[in-house]
Structure 1
Amino acid sequence: MGRVSGFLEEVRASYDTVAEAYAERVPAPGALDPLSRGVLGAFVEEMAGAGGTVLDVGCGPGKVAGYLAAGGVRVVGLDLSARMVGIARRAQPEVPFVVGSMTALGVRAGALAGVLAYYSTHHTPPEHLPAVYAEFRRVLAPGGRLMLAGYVGADGDGGGGEGERLRHTEAYGGLPVSYESHYVPPERIVRLLEAAGLTVTARLVQEVESAKGAKRRVGTFLAVRPPAGTSPRAG
């Protein structure tokens, strides 16, 4: 994969550390709340009907990729953490998994029917999101679909702010980590996706309560890469 630096190195090292604990604690798609299951299920149904390959970016231990595969989607999982990829390969031997970064996907332009970024971009500093979203667009075929889901921040001043930033030192049972989480306002995410050349077709923001009672806003965004010669428009 080459040398990883900066925030990517922090994320990679941290998830290598917590990989087994993460895999034990993070629920499978079937255990999600009904609304999240419904949106993810709709994406699976659409991608299974479309044919082509979907890349699950930041696939972790492979639970979501396995759910896609069970729904008839041709899926490849990609994660920065080699230990996560190892767990995914053992858990889902029928699905191909590779080590890689969402900043450089290693996929030829226009090769994918879909990209899924499911709770995998919130460790990316906001200043790096334009490059990440542009990479998602690059690998999508015209008409290809992106589903982006994860934690988001408050709307703030019309969504123009960078949102909330948290520095973590431990996670998943007290294991040591060193990364930041960035909770970008939904309107800011929409503008960045559209600036990258994607048309946002749907967005959903919901309040989700964890098993410990903590509440966090979750945003889900569906977008499409328009055919050449068309202009993205607001969703």
Structure 2
Amino acid sequence: MTESSSYITATAEAYDAIAVRYAEFVQGSLDRLPLDRAVLAAFAEFVRTAGAGPVAEVGCGPGYVTAHLRDLGLDAFGVDLSPVMIDLAREAYPDLRFQVGSMDALDLADGELGGIVSWYSVIHTPPQELPPYFAEFRRVLAPGGYLLLGFFESEGGPVVAFDHKVAPAYRWPIDDLAELARKADFVEVGRMLREPQEEERFRRGHLLMRRH
């Protein structure tokens, strides 16, 4: 196993181990997050207006965000590293499609998608390994397709590792993450930062990008 792929295997195994508890923890979480729902709704409106194809949630976990995207009128499906998470998603949402896969090597044709949502999933990728992920997102998005990133923001500091409860993870300055996307031929459409709620530790960042 190479060093660059070991974190992928470790992340999948970590989420396999806590999948049931994690699914219970996030169930209904969007109901308490109006700003997060607003960002997802804006993404959905942009994708519907463009009419460019289906949407993949990459790093979908137990599928609750994929289901929310479906409820927003999108042709949505989910991809995740963790086979146990995918089993839970299929059980919870049997009308939706879920598949095991990695964000850096999606089993999709060039330009197949109208949108991608990465909802707190790129956080587990070491910073030096992240550029190929953006290149893969660009490959599978149709021209004019949209990318929505949700992540933990470093509140003005540099990229910093933190003690995520499941697997090693990183907080990003929103400008730095936007610049990585720009280098992969994405244009920023908008951004949203929100302060942590009472039970949260860190500021949350959201970036909406469009593929050239």
Instruction: Tell me if structure 2 keeps the 8 A contact 1:48–1:71.
Output: no
Cα deviation code 1:163-200 (max 9, x no counterpart)? 210245xx4xxxxx5x2111011111011000011111
Could you say what the CA RMSD is over the residues aligned between the two structures, in angstroms? 1.7
Structure 2 Cα separation of the partners of residues 33 and 196 of structure 1: 30
1:225 is the counterpart of 2:211 = yes
C-alpha distance in structure 2 between counterparts of 1:139 and 1:210, whole Å: 37
How many residue pairs get matched? 208
Q: Report if aligned partners of 1:141, 1:225 keep a CA contact under 8 Å in 2.
A: yes
CA deviation string 1:27-58 (max 9, x = no partner): 43641322111111222233234431001000
1:112 maps to what in 2?
113
Maintained 8 Å contact 1:208/1:215? yes
Counterparts of residues 13-162 of structure 1 (less than 5 Å): 13-28=13-28, 30-51=30-51, 52-156=53-157, 161=158
1:152 shift after superposition: 1.6
SS of the aligned residue for 1:215 comes to: coil
Name the structure where strand makes up a greater proportion of residues. 1
Letter of the 2:26 counterpart: V
Counterpart of 2:161? Answer: 165
List alignment gaps of at least 5 residues for structure 1: 172-176, 227-235
* Alignment pair present for 1:203 and 2:191: yes
Q: CA deviation at 1:109?
A: 1.1
121 and 93 in structure 1: CA distance in 2 versus 1, 3 angstrom threshold: same
Cα distance in 1, alignment partners of residues 62 and 153 from structure 2: 23
More helix by share: 2
Instruction: Give, in angstroms, the shift of residue 210 of structure 1.
Output: 4.3
Letter in 2 for 1:42: A
- The answer (yes or no) to whether the contact 1:155–1:187 under 8 Å persists in 2 is no
The answer for the alignment partner of 1:185 in structure 2 is 173
Which has more radius of gyration? Answer: 1
Specify whether residues 7 and 217 from structure 1 end up closer, same or farther in structure 2 by C-alpha distance, changes over 3 A only: same
What is the TM-score of this pair, normalised by structure 2?
0.92
**Aligned-partner residue type, residue 5 of structure 1:** S
Q: Distance in 2 between matches of 1:23 and 1:210?
A: 21
Write the distance in 2 (CA, Å) between the matches of 1:72 and 1:125.
33
Do 2:114 and 2:142's aligned partners in 1 also have CA atoms closer than 8 Å?
yes
Q: What residue identity is the alignment partner of 2:203? A: R
Give the alignment's TM-score, normalised by structure 1: 0.83
Counterpart CA distance in 2 for 1:34 and 1:145 is: 21
